[in-house]
Amino acid sequence: GAVVSQHPSRVICKSGTSVKIECRSLDFQATTMFWYRQFPKKSLMLMATSNEGSKATYEQGVEKDKFLINHASLTLSTLTVTSAHPEDSSFYICSAFTGGDTEAFFGQGTRLTVV
């Protein structure tokens, strides 16, 4: 099946710094990618829809200036957590659809810990 690669898998950063997470579709082009966040024992919460060549669409309650999304090419979307704080510590997952497929393919996820 299609492969979505997410990097890094784990990152620890200091409070106040920024962290960039990459999501790549390895063998297909994805005009749309999605970013999710999972809190412990909670659901996967959709944060934003990343559109290639245009601005991302954020879900209600998600801070645009806090979570910067860039979808510069058909195979790469990045999520930058700016001025990270401990409450941003979470598991972030991206997903993408291949053209015509009926299921999303997910990256491996990134465990962010802000200390």
Partner 1 sequence: DQQVKQNSPSLSVQEGRISILNCDYTNSMFDYFLWYKKYPAEGPTFLISISSIKDKNEDGRFTVFLNKSAKHLSLHIVPSQPGDSAVYFCAASQDYGGATNKLIFGTGTLLAVQP
Judged by beta carbon, residue 61 or residue 86, the one nearer partner 1 is 61
Residue 90, exposed/middle/buried by CB under 10 A (0-12, 13-18, 19+)?
buried
67 is an interface residue for partner 1 by CB under 8 A: no
Stretch that binds partner 1, among 14-22, 62-70, 75-83, 96-104 (CB under 8 A): 96-104
**Between 96 and 114, whose beta carbon lies closer to partner 1?**
96
Burial 37-65 (b: 16+ CB within 10 A, else e): beeeeeeeeebbbbebeeebebeeebeee
Could you give the string, one character per residue 6-45, with x where binding to partner 1 holds by CB under 8 A and - elsewhere? x--x----------------------x-x-x----xxxxx
Rounded Cα gap, residues 67 and 94, in angstroms: 13
Alpha-carbon span 14 to 70, nearest angstrom: 23
Given 53, 61, 86, 102, the residue binding partner 1 (CB under 8 A)? 102
Q: Site residues (CB under 8 A) for partner 1?
A: 4, 6, 9, 32, 34, 36, 41-46, 49, 91, 93, 95, 97, 100, 102-109, 111
